[in-house]
Structure 1
Amino acid sequence: MTSKTSAPASARFPLWLLVCASLTAIAPLSIDMYLPAFPALAADLHTDIGQVQLTLGTFLVGLALGQAFYGPVSDRFGRKPPLYVGLTLYGVAAAGCALAADVEALMLWRFLQALGGCTGLVVSRAVIRDRLEARESARAFSSLMLVMGLAPILAPLIGGAVLASAGWRAIFWIHCGAAVLLLWFVHSRMEESLDPQRRRTLHPGTVLRGYWELLRDREFLGYSLSAGCVQGGMFAYIAGSPFVLIELHGIDPSHYGFVFGANAFGLIAMSQVNARLVRTRALDDVLRVALLAPCLAGLVLAGAELLGVAPLPLLLCCFFVFLAGLGCITPNASALALSRQSHRAGTASALMGTLQFGFGTLAGAAVSVWHDGTALPLAVVMAICGSGAVLLRRYGRAGLQPAH
């Protein structure tokens, strides 16, 4: 067991942080890698693009619901045991996706795949909180995003190449192989970070009381939901951009990954800018300024679509600004939300993830359900998410302690 420190390890990416990054990369790998295959999935499974987009929605539902389970379990049994269960389920479900005969079966297996994969999200955040204080946590989250940010860059490119050479089913067999690799990584390279003295009971009353206390904590709730709103805009983009860019604006599916990768590169770059900013500036001050990016980008995008003057360059610019802002927003909002939750880091990490992916599910579903053959649904949802994040940060600020 490694004790908590007040500064990051001397290595730029210590081994424990690399493990956390690998676990966190499960979500973007599982989401982004199959995006170029949406049209092929619709054709092969004899369905429409809206139904295929809902397979993403079911995955997000699984991510949101599963985290609420793994958080208390990791606070009781430690960080490693839930990973063994979750990664095994993820691998089995990925194989089920590869063998799916219709879109309904694919939705079910994607849901189960998310229930397994979400354990990596919960545990990685909890491990960082176990080891580091708030300011150092923000820097660690920024470093983690540098590693996990490679997934949105590489995954669509790999997915497009696999799609062209072996078909969409091979994408899910790669997911299955990744689960096996991560299980070995966790077993052989990850140390337990939960102090035995901090282990909590799994009594239902205690678990529910812990969640209720967190929901009444303005600091935790406001910052969690602020990041959740921006992530909701990101998931709206993930759900809607294949149609908007490939179908409406004629981008070749094999080139879609380059557009997606450029946005991920912006996110990575801003996460590293953030790591430097928080050394000398208050986390909340950096967050307040960073939230202006998705807010303004979303409003410009929606206004242009409503006026009918939204050419492809403007769309790409707004997408880039919105998503790059996540590089500053997610690390700082996460660190602030978890700053006073060291006694229940797993539970707090789980609820934060559930709330954030809940927003992502709603935003992605809204784009899919509102599908009208234009880019307007995507633009409006992103504008709502960007504006809502600014308001929710102000709500969380009211509960911020002077120590930050």
Structure 2
Amino acid sequence: MRSGHCSPVTYGGRTLAILSLLMAFASISTDLYLPALPAMKASLHTNAGSLEFTISGFLLGFGLGQLIWGPIGDQYGRRWPVAVGLLLFISGSAGCALSSSVGTMIGWRLVQALGASASVVLARAMVRDLYEGHRAVQVLSTLMTVMAIAPLAGPSVGSAILNVASWRAIFWTLTGVGLATLLALLALPETLPRERRGTGGLASALRTYRELLKNRRLLGYAGACGFLYAGTFAYVAASPFAYITYYQVSPHHYGILFAANIIGIMATSQANARLVSRFGSDRLLRWGAFAAAIAGIALGTNAKFGWGGLLGLALPLFIFISSTGFIVANSLAGAMQGFPERAGAVSALVGCIQYGSGMFGSGMVGLFSDGTPWPLGWVTAASSVCVLLCVWLLIPAASRRNTVSAPTDREET
């Protein structure tokens, strides 16, 4: 832990709980209302295609919003930008609950996304403010484990709400979550001291992003995260059709398969937290990238030739999705390690690349959909190979052998 502005007493389980809640906003904002889509379709007198824009619109606002909040957090501290973001999230959630058309819903979802993005991007920056090296990786891995519960429990909670109320109650619930988090924020001290804050406005932020994009090592970490998300969102978009439509899996058993992958993420995240002090974060990142590539290639091959049937699809997907626990936390920690004064901007840039790549991956499987698992297979295979290439070609060999450490030079291309 950093000395001078934090202590083991002040920053313990309460801090981790608040940071976990902040980082879960991306998941709960979508997973909670997925079971309500059919009811929303009837209530808003629209079609399924239009309702899908409430998801893609959220992802767009969430990715771009991070680019705004990151530099703001570096210049003005973390707490008040998160508070402003929570107010936007609360307003957006209430607006969704009151919407009478799908167009209005999409607009409020954008507001909701802009607010949620502040919580996620600045929570990651707070981790960098408070922790260094192996401890930062361990904390990020712990947060990822907690975050994995959100997509696991979200649809079930949403269904439970629908059993007793309308779909609008789900968005009122999200409004309440935003208010509760805003109150919890009062218990979280500012993590970025004034002497470590940056200066400058929009022009300075743009210069910061331009400089960061010149750093080879940073591009390696961000690229690994981004390509992993491309494959992951391809899986989220295509797996219902591959499992339920093509292999005739029941929705109930599809839920079990989906939950198994979430549990895989939780298991590897905890393994990563335990192993990082022994093997180093970059070595674990390399292992995760290698496992993802092998699984992705196997998935692509099985999807192309139909080898292994359902198991030939489910098993490689489980390994690929589970590799998240070794790739994301180590990539985030490695990316932010060399830029302590720009942790917000780095977190924003990596987050934008993640969700931008996720939109691209889901869009590609939709564009090339042919009624078979093949689009899912080749998009995941290509993404997984690119993860491995980013780790091996862009992150210096010395860094891969060692633990997380700050770069000794600019390492620019």
TM-score, normalised with respect to structure 1: 0.90
Displacement of 1:130 in angstroms is: 0.7
Deviations 1:34-64 (A, max 9, x none): 3344455455555554444343222111111
Kindly indicate whether the alpha-carbon contact (under 8 Å) linking 2:6 and 2:130 is maintained by their aligned counterparts in 1. no
User: Which one-letter code corresponds to 1:186 in the other structure?
Assistant: L
Deviations 1:81-127 (A, max 9, x none): 11111111112212222333444333332222111101111111111
Greater shift in the superposed pair: 256-265 or 25-34: 256-265
Greater shift in the superposed pair: 390-399 or 72-81: 390-399
Unaligned runs of 5+ in 1: none
Displacement of 1:152 in angstroms is: 1.8
The answer to whether the aligner puts 1:197 opposite 2:195 as a matched pair is: yes
Kindly indicate whether the alpha-carbon contact (under 8 Å) linking 1:4 and 1:130 is maintained by their aligned counterparts in 2. no
When residues 121 and 379 of structure 1 are mapped into structure 2, their CA distance, relative to the original with a 3 A threshold, is: same
What are the equivalent positions in structure 2 for 1:7-156 lying under 5 Å apart?
9=8, 14-42=13-41, 45=44, 47-156=46-155
When residues 49 and 241 of structure 1 are mapped into structure 2, their CA distance, relative to the original with a 3 A threshold, is: farther
What are the equivalent positions in structure 2 for 1:4-403 lying under 5 Å apart?
4=3, 9=8, 14-42=13-41, 45=44, 47-187=46-186, 189-253=187-251, 256-309=254-307, 311-398=309-396
When residues 321 and 35 of structure 1 are mapped into structure 2, their CA distance, relative to the original with a 3 A threshold, is: farther
Residues in 2 aligned to 1:207 and 1:161: alpha-carbon distance in whole angstroms = 44
Residues in 2 aligned to 1:87 and 1:399: alpha-carbon distance in whole angstroms = 41
Residues in 1 aligned to 2:157 and 2:374: alpha-carbon distance in whole angstroms = 29
User: Which one-letter code corresponds to 1:383 in the other structure?
Assistant: A
Displacement of 1:10 in angstroms is: 7.9
Residues in 1 aligned to 2:308 and 2:40: alpha-carbon distance in whole angstroms = 29
Deviations 1:217-263 (A, max 9, x none): 11111101101211222222223333434444455546654433221
Displacement of 1:70 in angstroms is: 0.4
User: Which one-letter code corresponds to 2:240 in the other structure?
Assistant: P
When residues 293 and 128 of structure 1 are mapped into structure 2, their CA distance, relative to the original with a 3 A threshold, is: same
Deviations 1:298-355 (A, max 9, x none): 2222222222446333333233212111011111111111111101111111111111
Residues in 1 aligned to 2:166 and 2:292: alpha-carbon distance in whole angstroms = 35
Residues in 2 aligned to 1:94 and 1:223: alpha-carbon distance in whole angstroms = 33
Q: Matched residue pairs, number? A: 402
User: Which one-letter code corresponds to 2:221 in the other structure?
Assistant: Y
Kindly indicate whether the alpha-carbon contact (under 8 Å) linking 1:153 and 1:258 is maintained by their aligned counterparts in 2. no
Residues in 1 aligned to 2:323 and 2:93: alpha-carbon distance in whole angstroms = 31
Residues in 1 aligned to 2:7 and 2:47: alpha-carbon distance in whole angstroms = 48
Kindly indicate whether the alpha-carbon contact (under 8 Å) linking 2:296 and 2:377 is maintained by their aligned counterparts in 1. yes
Kindly indicate whether the alpha-carbon contact (under 8 Å) linking 1:3 and 1:193 is maintained by their aligned counterparts in 2. no
Residues in 1 aligned to 2:21 and 2:392: alpha-carbon distance in whole angstroms = 32
Q: Specify the SS of the correspondent of 2:126.
A: helix
When residues 235 and 285 of structure 1 are mapped into structure 2, their CA distance, relative to the original with a 3 A threshold, is: same
TM-score, normalised with respect to structure 2: 0.88
Kindly indicate whether the alpha-carbon contact (under 8 Å) linking 2:22 and 2:119 is maintained by their aligned counterparts in 1. yes
User: Which one-letter code corresponds to 1:143 in the other structure?
Assistant: T
Kindly indicate whether the alpha-carbon contact (under 8 Å) linking 1:228 and 1:356 is maintained by their aligned counterparts in 2. yes
Greater shift in the superposed pair: 73-82 or 360-369: 360-369
User: Which one-letter code corresponds to 2:21 in the other structure?
Assistant: S
Kindly indicate whether the alpha-carbon contact (under 8 Å) linking 2:231 and 2:361 is maintained by their aligned counterparts in 1. yes
Kindly indicate whether the alpha-carbon contact (under 8 Å) linking 1:160 and 1:254 is maintained by their aligned counterparts in 2. no
Q: Specify the SS of the correspondent of 1:280.
A: helix
Residues in 2 aligned to 1:255 and 1:160: alpha-carbon distance in whole angstroms = 17
Residues in 1 aligned to 2:243 and 2:163: alpha-carbon distance in whole angstroms = 19
Residues in 2 aligned to 1:50 and 1:158: alpha-carbon distance in whole angstroms = 24
When residues 126 and 377 of structure 1 are mapped into structure 2, their CA distance, relative to the original with a 3 A threshold, is: same
State percent identity of aligned pairs.
37
Kindly indicate whether the alpha-carbon contact (under 8 Å) linking 1:263 and 1:323 is maintained by their aligned counterparts in 2. yes
When residues 226 and 236 of structure 1 are mapped into structure 2, their CA distance, relative to the original with a 3 A threshold, is: same
Residues in 2 aligned to 1:218 and 1:208: alpha-carbon distance in whole angstroms = 18
Unaligned runs of 5+ in 2: 406-413
When residues 324 and 392 of structure 1 are mapped into structure 2, their CA distance, relative to the original with a 3 A threshold, is: same
Displacement of 1:146 in angstroms is: 2.0
When residues 37 and 321 of structure 1 are mapped into structure 2, their CA distance, relative to the original with a 3 A threshold, is: farther
Kindly indicate whether the alpha-carbon contact (under 8 Å) linking 1:292 and 1:390 is maintained by their aligned counterparts in 2. yes
Kindly indicate whether the alpha-carbon contact (under 8 Å) linking 1:57 and 1:365 is maintained by their aligned counterparts in 2. no
Displacement of 1:186 in angstroms is: 0.8
* Cα RMSD for the two superposed structures: 2.7
Residues in 1 aligned to 2:397 and 2:208: alpha-carbon distance in whole angstroms = 18
When residues 104 and 238 of structure 1 are mapped into structure 2, their CA distance, relative to the original with a 3 A threshold, is: farther
Greater shift in the superposed pair: 366-375 or 191-200: 366-375
User: Which one-letter code corresponds to 1:29 in the other structure?
Assistant: I
